[in-house]
Structure 1
Amino acid sequence: MSRYVALVALLALSVAPAGFAQQDENAARQQLDAIGQEIESAAQRLSATGSARDSAERELKEVETALADTHRRLDTLQAERRQLNDETTQLRQHRDRLESERTDQYAALGQQLSALYRLGPTPQLKLLLNQGDPAELDRMQAYMNRLSAARQRRLEAIARLDTALADTQRELNVRQTRLDTLSAELEEQSALLARRTSERRGVVATLDDRYGSEEERLADLNQSREDAEQVLRDIQAEMAKLAKPTPTTDIISTQGDLPWPVQGAISSDFHHRDGVHYNGIVIQASAGTPVTAVHPGRVVFADWMRGFGNLLIIDHGDQIMTLHAHLQQFSVRAGQQVSRGDEIGRVGNSGGQTRTALYFEVRRGGEPINPQRWIARR
Structure 2
Amino acid sequence: MFLIFFILISQEPEKKLEDIRKKLIEQRKNVQELKLRELGILQSIQEIDNEITLTRKLVDELKKQTEILQQEIKDIENMIVELDYNLKQKKVILAKRVRNIYKYGKLHPLAVVLLSYSFDDALKRMKYLSIIAEQDLRILNEIKRIKALLDNKRETLIKKLEDLDQLKVEAEIEQDNLQKTLLGKKNFLQEVSSKREEAEKMARELEKAEQDLKKLIASLPKQEKGKVDLFKTKLLFPVEGKIVGKFGFKRDPKYGTITKNNGIDISAEFGEPVKAIADGKVVFADNFLGYGKLVIIDHGDGFISLYAHLSTISVETGNDVSQGTIIGLVGDTGSLNEPQLHFEIRRDGQPVDPMHYF
C-alpha separation in 2, matches of 1:61 and 1:304:
9
Contact 1:301 1:313 in 2 (8 A): yes
Question: Residue deviations 1:157-188, cap 9 Å, x none?
Answer: 22332333333334334433332332332233
C-alpha separation in 2, matches of 1:79 and 1:353:
31
CA change 1:63–1:80 in 2 (3 A) is same
The 3-state SS of whatever aligns with 1:324 is strand
Partner of 2:241: 265
Partner of 1:158: 143
1:279 corresponds, among 255, 263, 266, to 263
TM-score by length of 2: 0.64
Match status 1:324 vs 2:307: yes
Match status 1:358 vs 2:341: yes
C-alpha separation in 1, matches of 2:134 and 2:223:
74
C-alpha separation in 2, matches of 1:342 and 1:109:
65
C-alpha separation in 2, matches of 1:108 and 1:101:
11
Q: Which amino acid aligns with 1:164?
A: L
C-alpha separation in 1, matches of 2:169 and 2:139:
45
Partner of 1:176: 161
C-alpha separation in 1, matches of 2:236 and 2:142:
57
C-alpha separation in 1, matches of 2:280 and 2:118:
86
Note the C-alpha offset of 1:195. Answer: 2.0
Note the C-alpha offset of 1:130. Answer: 0.8
What's the C-alpha RMSD, in Å, of the aligned pairs? 4.5
Question: Residue deviations 1:339-368, cap 9 Å, x none?
Answer: 779976543334454432333445565455
The 3-state SS of whatever aligns with 2:338 is coil
Contact 1:204 1:352 in 2 (8 A): no
Partner of 2:286: 302
Match status 1:230 vs 2:215: no
Of the structure 1 ranges 202-211 and 273-282, higher mean CA displacement relative to structure 2 is found in 273-282
Higher relative contact order (CA 8 A, sep 6+): 1
CA change 1:198–1:131 in 2 (3 A) is closer
TM-score by length of 1: 0.62
Contact 1:293 1:343 in 2 (8 A): yes
1:93 corresponds, among 40, 58, 78, to 78
1:122 corresponds, among 81, 84, 107, to 107
CA change 1:143–1:82 in 2 (3 A) is same
C-alpha separation in 2, matches of 1:293 and 1:168:
50
Question: Residue deviations 1:182-211, cap 9 Å, x none?
Answer: 233223322322221221221121222235
C-alpha separation in 2, matches of 1:296 and 1:183:
43
Identity %: 19
C-alpha separation in 1, matches of 2:325 and 2:153:
37
C-alpha separation in 1, matches of 2:336 and 2:216:
27
Q: Which amino acid aligns with 1:194?
A: Q
Contact 1:65 1:304 in 2 (8 A): no
Partner of 1:347: 330
Q: How many residues in Structure 1 have an aligned counterpart in Structure 2?
A: 308
2:50 corresponds, among 53, 65, 71, to 65
C-alpha separation in 1, matches of 2:45 and 2:53:
12
Question: Residue deviations 1:1-55, cap 9 Å, x none?
Answer: xxxxxxxxxxxxxxxxxxxxxxxxxxxxxxxxxxxxxxxxxxxxxxxxxxxx975
C-alpha separation in 2, matches of 1:81 and 1:336:
35
Match status 1:312 vs 2:297: no
C-alpha separation in 1, matches of 2:95 and 2:280:
65
Contact 2:295 2:327 in 1 (8 A): no
CA change 1:91–1:314 in 2 (3 A) is farther
